[in-house]
Each structure stands twice: as C-alpha cells, then as structure tokens.
Structure 1
Amino acid sequence: MPLARQSRIWPSGGVHLWPAGATSEAHSHPRGHLVYAVSGVLSVHTERGTWIVPGNRIAWIPAGSTHHHRAHGDTDMRIVFLPASLARLAPARPAVFGASGLAREVILALTGTRHFDRGARTRLHRVLADELRQAPEQPLHLPEPRDDRLRAVARILADNPADTSTLAALGRRAGAGARTLSRLFHDELGMTFYEWRTQLRICHALVLLAEGHDTTRVAHACGWANPSSFIAVFTTVLGTTPGRHRRRLY
C-alpha cells in the first residue's frame, strides 16, 4: 500500500503529499476537520458511502467519523481542524461544499509555512466557517447500498461504468424487478437509478482524469456516447470542463 511521501501534522492541521493510488488506514479524529486537495483528487470513504473531492470542493469530516482516504493522481492534501465552537455549526455527517476562492486561500494559509499566533488563527478559522456556511453543499457522493439486490447492481456498474444496460436488464442479473429496484434506489439512496448512475460515472471520470487519461478516452470508458455529451454533463455537475479540471490537477 503506497504511503504519503511527506506528512506534516500539527494541532490545528496538516499536509499529506500522496502518490497516485495511496490510501490511508481507516481512522477517526476527536475533532471535526476539513479536507482539501490542492492538486490531484481525493476520495473519502465512510460507512455512509464514498465522497469524491476535486479541487473545487472541500470535504467536512465530523469528529469521531471513521473514514479513510485514497489519492487519485499525485495529491497534495490539506487538513484543517476546527475548534468545537465552530465545528458544531457544521453538519453532523460528512459533507462536501463548493470551495470559494477565499476558502481555498484561507486553507492554504493555515496549512502553509507562515506562523500565525492564536488570535490570527482563530480569526482565519472564523472566516473559513463563514465561507462554508454560505457555500452550497455540492456532494459528489455515492451512498453505500444496504439491500443485497442494490449492492449487486452497484457492483456491476462499478466494475464497468460504461455498461448502458437498462434497470430491467440489470435487475434480471441481480434478481429483482425494475420497479423494486427503482423503489430501493429512492428509499435507500435518495435518488433515481439514472441520477445514481450519472454520479457513479462522474466519480469514475474524475479518477480517470487524475490518472492522466484524455477527455475522449474518459467519455467512452464512463458510458457516454461521445465526448460532447460527457463534457456537458461534467460541466453541469462540476462547474468546469474536463479539460480545465485536468489542467488544474497538474
């Protein structure tokens, strides 16, 4: 298992430089913290599912939440621990927020080489908390199915995101009818099958882009008939094109 090439941890935050494919052990922290990828893409895995964190997102992990990270592409990961007085204003569950320019700069300042005294650090934490309170939640979240039939469908599509089978065809392989699966997607995962499959494909696309594949290759590998369709969906979900996103990674 690849380990971080370099790590610096201090009471209020930390930096991990991960090679592509590196993963952390499952762990938790006594304080809630924010996670941001300056370069590369992170996935955050919890019992609730998987969150993908590209450079225009900031992940929130509550205190005591067991999780592990995986780096897709060489990844510069920054961590900021929030004091309890501010952490209680954040969700009690993992969440992903849009990263404003100001929030990014504050995270970079707090995890950089400059020393801040306690008062300055407190003020920067407050600015960061204010930015996140105003930021929309923008999850790239694949919730973890509990029902065995949903798990079977999820495995089929995770193994091959380009699979264009209908829900009925997938149901025949998983041992359930399309109506039953549709209800399970709604009740367990809070989204339709097509919303979930799009989310899966976008998450897989982010991983492939971080690994260096071009837009055309990624589009076909993730099930889009042509690159323009992929670009349109990717831009709607991420707020940037695959090309601009890929350039930021490096």
Structure 2
Amino acid sequence: MDLKKDIQQQFGKNADSYVSSPIHKDGKDLQKLLYMAVLTGNEKLLDVATGGGHTANAFAPFVKNVTALDLTQEMLAVAEKFIKGNGNHNVEFVKGDAEKLPFSNETFDIVTCRIAPHHFPHVHLFISEVFRVLKKEGQFLLDDNVVPEDDGFDQFYNKIEKWRDYSHFRAWKKSEWIRMLELAGFEIEEWHRYEKPFNYDSWCNQMKLPNEEKEKLTLYFLEASEKIKHKFRVKIESNQVTSFSGEAIVLKAIKK
C-alpha cells in the first residue's frame, strides 16, 4: 500500500477526532496565521489538506471565498459539517492531492496549509504546486511540525511520529523549510517557532494506536537518552510517559 492510500485510510477512520482535537482547533498558531495574513476581504484562498477544516473555517469570514482541499473524502465531509455549522457558506470542498493541485496557474491570492505537510511524500512537488497556483505577490501561510537541527533529535522525533501514525512521512527542519521555499522562488517574510506540548495518551489514542504498540513506544521513550528526554520535555510518572513537547514553524512566504 502506498503512502497516499495510507493517508486516506488513516485519516478516513479518524476524521471525526480531528475536528474535536484541541491541537487542531485551539492552537494559538492558528491565530498567528490569521494575524500574519494581509487581508482585504476580496481574496480567493486555498486551504490545502484542510483536515477538520479549522484553518478554512478561521479564514472564511475575512476573505471572499475559500477552497478547502483534502485527499480524503471522509475528512471533507466532517470539515463541511463543521464549517457550515459555524455559519460559513463561502467555502467550496474539493477532493484532491496536495502534490498535484487540480487548479489553473495563478488562481489564488492566498494558500494556507496547517499541520499537514509532514504527511506529504514529495514535499518539493507540494511547494512547486503552491507556487504555481498562487498569483504574483500571493501569500503562502505554512504551519507544520518541525524537528530540531540536531540529527539525533530529528531521528527520534520522526521515528516516534511514524510509530504512532504510519501515514507520517517526515517532519522537516526549520532550515530545510526555508531553503526549499527560497529555492522554489518564495521570499520568507516572517516566521515563528512554537513549542507544542502533547498529552501522551491523547497523542497515541488520536490515531488509535493498539495497546501493544503503545507499550513498545512507551518503552522507547523510557530508554531514550537523558539528552533526548530533556530536549523533548518528556515527563514520566510511575514508569509511564505523561507528556512531551515537539515544535512547529509558522511562516509567511511571498511569491515573487
């Protein structure tokens, strides 16, 4: 089974949990994305990999229209219910691939993508497609989990994410994002780093990780070096992991 089918299967069966997920619906990073955007009310906005629809929902009152795109039909269904339930009716829902966007060149004023690119197997194609569908001077607002620059920390975080969620591909370093975007023709206008605290049980349960795998993953955390435990703020009580922290980058890039 290829990764895109993995993504559809994993997110299809967990679609409802993404609408109610505190990290997705309450994150202060979402407010930062709104704050960073330059909005007049006339913009056409594309939200790539809309998931539960939180980003599309947040922007809908402030732009002309939103196209919410996702690879998974079940996700689009829960996103539509959520967004329309909030009274936003200027949102269109489209099934499609982030790495092969089904839109003409220079269609959108803004493209958003939040907590999703770590699932994309060919992130360079995604970046190229965002550049293609944006108008000149268009804004790309990106928000995703990243890894520290240290290779050991990088390997640890990507391993635990893949263990929890087989549809995870790679969380990139901050420096890798900046390099990839600039090489594609974007100019980075603003970026911020956020710490992301995770409740361990909720983090595992969101993807319905089987108990046997959860126990193995817990042991992997417990046996990690003190350096890793310190970096990821791993908290342990009674030989059980209770929480840890990752990080995210929130940035605005302009198509030049």
What band does the TM-score fall into relative to the shorter chain?
A: under 0.3
What is the TM-score with the length of structure 1 in the denominator?
0.26
Higher relative CO (CA 8 A, sep ≥ 6), structure 1 or 2? 2
- More strand by percentage: 2
Larger Rg, first or second structure (1 or 2): 1
